[in-house]
Copies of this chain bind each other. A is one copy, B any other.
């Protein structure tokens, strides 16, 4: 794990790193000492480790709650090289949707393919970050919607260190099977008028989660229109389960 220069803003220390070929960012409280809860955040499709929705959660989690937050680029995203195989599939999928095929099953197959790489990658990220003195082996949470849900569901299912997760904007086609192996508390975000994930698919993914404690939050609006008040609600969810 090689670290770049750290910068600090409003008590939040931001440190870029690379772990093997994976570029990432770690946010911790300035002058943090000792073990603390850690949230791994998975970004959306076509976005990256410092997307606005990641920063909007990372900063208050660190500044107000003293958590550590880590995000890495998914293969083919952010500071990672383009992946010829993924690009080819994406181009083919665009053509198939243009020819009348449904988007959801194609997206589901693609996310399952990418998850085969990201699940082990994210596990090595947890290993490395939890070895740092100012993070340590505290409770771990996961946050990811859209692509971050398609990749996050198999990750949370596979990774026993994760004790609570915020997921959503994803469907059962992509993640229904691994969802049945998730038993930790889950907050699930669904957009009632999602133009990318059919409503029934989102409800079916929530239904498939094996967690005894899970809450669906559904709001009107399209895929990218999760209302701002869910931000505070997510902070409180993590504080309640990991704080």
Residue ranges of A at the interface with B (Cβ–Cβ < 8 Å): 190, 192, 203, 206-207, 211-220, 227, 229, 232-233, 236, 240
Contacts and interface: CB of A to CB of B under 8 A. Distances in A.
Copy number in the complex reads: 2
A190 B232 CA distance: 21
A218 B220 contact: no
Contacts of A217: 215-217
Contact of A215 (B203, B206, B219, B232): B219
Contacts of A206: 218
A229 B240 contact: yes
Contacts of A190: 216
A83 B233 CA distance: 43
Contacts of A212: 220
A216 B218 contact: yes
A98 B217 CA distance: 36
Contacts of A240: 229
17 contacts: A190-B216, A192-B207, A192-B216, A206-B218, A211-B220, A213-B220, A213-B227, A214-B220, A215-B217, A215-B218, A215-B227, A215-B229, A216-B216, A216-B218, A229-B240, A232-B236, A233-B233
